[in-house]
Amino acid sequence: MKHLLKLEDWSSEEIIKALNLADQLKYEQKHGIEHKHLKGKTLGMIFEKSSTRTRVSFEVGMTQLGGYPLFLSSNDLQIGRGEPVEDTARVLSRFIDGIMIRTFEQSEVEALAEYGSIPIINGLTDYCHPCQVLADLMTIREHKGKLEGLKMCFIGDGNNMMNSLIVGALRTGMSISVACPEGYDPPQHILEFAEKFGDKFELCRKPADAAKNADVVYTDVWASMGQEEEKKIREKAFEGYQVNAELMAVTNDKCMVLHCLPAHRGEEITADVFESHADEIFDDICYPKCSTCKKAKKWLDENNIEYTERDIKLENPSYDELKNWYEKSELPLKKFFNTSGMIYRDMNLKDKLPDMSEEEQLRLLSTDGMLVKRPLVVKDDTVLTGFREKEWEEKLK
């Protein structure tokens, strides 16, 4: 049985598989394709910490998947009156099919998994925030077209967000630099995990050092939920640890800015930087609509390049269409599928493909297995797949 307790428990392959599946489900939802994979299932949602985005996203997501989201406030459960979490796990396991919990102690999430007999999802603890970071990675990949090779920078507290971002970024081939004041570092075992990745991780005291050449800048509030009494102390400690125009000047061109929200403008991030990157931030938080098509068209228009758009389709492409796109792309078949915006209708097909010839793969995927997620844009005889700006520039020279 698979849980999501913390990202350290998931391999790189499992994280990427989850992101791929999320892309597929999102595409289907956007285009009215039902996916009632959890029909008849109930997800219990325990909230010991209140939330806007976590509650809405889980309730909506569970409903879209055909299941029933059951909101359980700690005020309504015996767990809020001293019942051991072990007993709560055993009771709920006999009524529902999974639990999402948003709480304080990581040990509570671990105990639910140990004593229950159903999957447990960590919606947030003081230690980590794995669901948020999966959404972050999904958003970065949508905007940047990839994860591997990018540099992430985190400015702020060594809190649950920093812990999970370090693991998520390194597991997916990114490098990450973090900047925090002394005394606010991430836990030692997170630092030891990061050290295994060599120069892909850096702990800095100066925010500008961490942000240099970053592709993604991330920040969070200085005082998280439950730390309100430390607010004045933290304001002094984190003075200068702000995402502002000066900091953004040392990042890479077209650097993204993300924030897990709620944001305190004027503290960890200035209002002007927040507003100029609001689309990215709210795309991330709302597990959003893909912007790849819009970016591709904007780039083509800015470069005065005429193009013919192959419209996004709900039906499968024909064999002749698929073969034509593949041949014009001049890519190996596997890379063509990975970069062309194709989505597998049946994820199990991926396991069958290596034993097939190219023709067999194309025929199978055109008749049974593929949806077109992003448009293929054709100029003359040049096929431009997905949106990879540098690759497009090379092809169109």
Tell me if 17 sits within 8 A of 23, measured CB to CB.
no
Where do we find the tokens 């973090």?
178
**β strands within the chain, DSSP E:** 42-47, 68-73, 98-102, 120-124, 151-155, 175-179, 201-204, 216-219, 256-259, 308-309, 342-344, 370-372, 377-379, 382-384
Is 3.40.30.10 the CATH classification of the domain at 292-395? yes
pTM of the model: 0.74
The alpha carbon dihedral of 3, 7, 13, 19 has a sign of: positive
Long-range contacts of 27-35 (CB under 8 A, 24+ apart): 27/290, 27/343, 27/371, 27/373, 28/371, 29/64, 30/289, 30/290, 31/312, 31/314, 32/314, 33/314, 34/66, 35/64, 35/65, 35/66
Could you give the CA distance from residue 111 to residue 99 in angstroms, rounded to a whole number? 12
Question: 130-285, superfamily in CATH?
Answer: Aspartate/ornithine carbamoyltransferase (3.40.50.1370)
Give every CB contact of residue 301 below 8 A, 6+ residues apart in sequence: none
Residue intervals of the chain classified under CATH 3.40.50.1370 are 36-124, 130-285
Digit-by-digit pLDDT tens for the chain (397 residues) are 789 999 999 999 999 989 988 888 887 887 788 889 999 999 999 999 988 889 999 999 999 999 999 999 877 787 756 789 999 999 999 999 999 999 999 999 999 999 999 999 999 999 999 999 999 999 999 888 899 999 999 999 999 999 999 999 999 999 999 999 999 999 999 999 999 999 999 999 999 999 999 999 999 999 876 676 788 899 999 999 999 999 999 999 999 999 998 899 999 999 999 999 988 888 765 543 334 455 556 666 676 766 555 443 334 566 777 777 777 766 777 666 655 445 444 545 555 666 778 777 777 666 555 544 444 455 555 555 554 555 556 655 5
Structure tokens belonging to residue 254 = 């077209």
Please check whether residue 96 is in contact with residue 118, taking contact to mean a CB–CB distance below 8 angstroms: yes
Give the CATH fold of the 36-124 domain: Rossmann fold (3.40.50)
CATH 3.40.30.10-classified regions of the chain: 292-395
How many C-beta neighbours within 10 Å does residue 380 have?
A: 10
AA identity, residue 76:
D
